[in-house]
Amino acid sequence: MGILSPVFAAAVLTPSRPSSSQQQDVLSYEAGQRLYLDPRAGNVSAALAQNYVKPTVSRAASQRNDDAEAEARALARAVNAPKYDPAELSRRYGGQPLQVTRRTLNILLELGSFAADLYLDKQRGELERNKRVRAIQLRQKLTKLGPTFVKIGQGLSTRPDLCPPEYLEELAELQDALPTFPDAEAFSWIESELGARLEDVYSSITPSPVAAASLGQVYKAVLRSTGEVVAVKVQRPGIAQAIGLDFFLLRNVCQLIDKYVDVVTTNVVALLDEFASRVYQELNYVQEGFNAKKFMELYGDRVDVKVPSICWDYTSVKVLTMEWIDGTKLSEQKVIESQGLNVLKMVDIGIQCSLRQLLEYGYFHADPHPGNLLATPEGKLAFIDFGMMSDTPPQARFAIIGHVVHMVNRDYEAMARDYYALDFLSPDVDVSPIVPALKSFFDDVLDATVSELNFKTIVDGLGAVLYQYPFDVPPYYALILRSLTVLEGLALYTDPNFKVLAAAYPYFAKRLLTDPNPYLRDALVELLFKDGSFRWQRLENLLVQGRKSSDFVAKDALQPVLQLMLGEEGAELRRLVEKEAVRVLEALVIGSTVEGYKSLPEPLKFIVNRGNNGRVIALKEHEEAQMLKLRQQVLRVWGLLRTSSGFDPAMLQPVVEILRLPEAQSMGAHVATGLTKRLAARLLQQLLKPATPLPA
């Protein structure tokens, strides 16, 4: 049975009176699982019926009104949810020097003792032998230090490039195997939040949590009203105070870094504030429910992605009831493979979905650690925790795609200009000094093919460049890096040679070929045209990669380019395309002639090529080779389009309609004229001066 990700929510809690429901009988099912059951039969209590309607799990149109009403009631219960307020934290803890000092010393003592033990191991030559012991020790210390440090451990647990296997295995337990708080207290909070007795809400609930993590714990239950199996997430008592104090301390440290550490040019306080605000969003389970709903609406259409539904009538700030999903954490490779599933395929689903999150709608899951991603028995990837979400600004979505294109194209001046759109630099900063630094780093990195590029290598190297110049990395970008590095870390755990950019590049290629956004169209033109010449090899590579994307459609790769070319600002592009069209048609005509000649019997070849230096057309050897190469490239590109998934000649009808526009007809006339002139010149060469090439 899979384990649901632990709760990520908390609030300032007050003690509550013990509930009589905690004294209910404990029965044993045939399977041996102990469940709390209501020993009485009957309908939902009057109190429950008065305040809540029956939860609507189905999303059928006839029940949408009920869903909306249930959501409204849940939203009303969240009006006093806590929010991150640095000024309030400063007022609260600024006047408590003893508490602040005690916590600071506690952190220094725990981490300092671990560092001292590592130092002694190194001095004694026992680092390797004591790895497991130290890994357990670190996990225990992070757990002891509380939720803030548990989250740090969760991040490290997905980074095999930073931590040895022993540490990865131990830190992975921080995802959902943390100490629990008393069940009686949890059940009391459920009753208090939902305003009903436990047995009136759930016909059964596990007597102990099935998962526990930094901010709360999860129970498996069955709704009495519908019989649906659900996950019930309950926040950990006192968690808000602990998180608030830690963020107060960390913010003070970040302020010192911003003020005195010149090598760090990024606004560290802003990064911390962004992270803290996301964590505080996790304190509100109603907000998490709406996050899940939005996530489902945007990405739930993928057949390989699963998103749980929310039971709104049984959800509040401190309690979340949602659909139960059976699955296995992505870090449990052997279990997944025993089910006939492939871990790398599941990670690739996560990467493709994440790219769509980051670069299409901009709404993305900012905490995709293994405890939040499950492989279902049906081969779907389930996202099950929606406490930490973030947004990519619209301008940045296209700038990121363009940035990757410019990187692959080694256009470092364009890369430097991208930092304006990415909000890394203010418009008044001169980027010209940055270009040599980018060239110095990326020339070495790009000697590898795209399929060999490691995301972490690029991030680390780019980070070294950023530190040298007045960059200000925006908070959303830090969360994007975290999201992608976590996914790459999951893949590296399975395959040390996995490259996330290789898995992501088909998506970038598809977007470039099919997206009508002006920014991306300009990036595509920059990629395909250089010094007035069309680079067919680039187009072929984009098509090869783009076809790997499951939703690539050939006709979409044609219309946006034509529309751009025939638009008001397409005069220069039309000139380039006309020139290239003449060259291509000439190569097709002459290349086909040459290929036809080669298929003739030898006696006929002798008659045809007599007086032409052994060639059917007066071309020098290198010129003939270039034409044949161009013809082969064009035919390969057409073959890629023609054999793309779902290709149908009828799909080209919209393209034909575009070609009927006056601008297109004018282009056609220019191309026909140019081709006629070229072929006429070839004919004259054939008759008057064999083997003399045309001027370029």
The catalytic residues are: 367
Q: Please state, in angstroms and as integers, the Cα–Cα distance from residue 65 to each residue in 227, 291, 314, 581, following that order.
A: 21, 19, 17, 58
d(CA 585, CA 574): 16
DSSP letters along 571-597, please? HHHHHHHHHHHHHHHHHHHHHHHHHHH
Nearest alpha-carbon partner for 306 in 247, 380, 250, 361: 380
Q: For residue 507, what are its two tokens?
A: 């998506």
Cα 192 to chain centroid distance, Å, stands at 38
Nearest alpha-carbon partner for 82 in 244, 201, 289, 275: 244
Query: Sign of dihedral through CA atoms 137, 140, 145, 148?
Result: positive
Plot region of 229 (φ>0 → left; ψ -120 to 50 → alpha; else → beta) = beta
d(CA 2, CA 374): 8
Crossing angle (nearest 10°) for helices 475-494 and 268-281: 70
| 337 Cβ contact list (under 8 Å, min separation 6) | 343
Q: By the 8 A CB rule, do 324 and 4 touch?
A: yes
d(CA 426, CA 122): 46
Q: For residue 289, what are its two tokens?
A: 């429910």
- Residue recorded with tokens 């989250």: 151
Q: By the 8 A CB rule, do 242 and 147 touch?
A: yes
d(CA 116, CA 450): 42
CB atoms within 10 A of CB 140: 13
Q: What letter represents residue 584's amino acid?
A: V
Q: For residue 129, what are its two tokens?
A: 């032998």
Q: By the 8 A CB rule, do 611 and 691 touch?
A: no
Backbone angles phi, psi at 49, to 5 degrees: -65, -30
- The DSSP secondary-structure symbol of 661 reads S
Residue spans of beta strands (DSSP E) within 459-530: 529-530
Nearest alpha-carbon partner for 374 in 413, 425, 336, 431: 336
d(CA 483, CA 328): 20
Q: What letter represents residue 687's amino acid?
A: L
Half-sphere exposure of 20 (CA within 13 A, CB side): 4
Identify the bridge partners of residue 232 per DSSP, sorted by sequence position: 219, 321
Cα 407 to chain centroid distance, Å, stands at 19
Cα 468 to chain centroid distance, Å, stands at 28
Cα 182 to chain centroid distance, Å, stands at 36
Identify the bridge partners of residue 219 per DSSP, sorted by sequence position: 232
Q: Label residue 591 exposed, middle or buried (CB < 10 Å: 0-12, 13-18, 19+).
A: buried
| 71 Cβ contact list (under 8 Å, min separation 6) | 289, 290, 293, 312
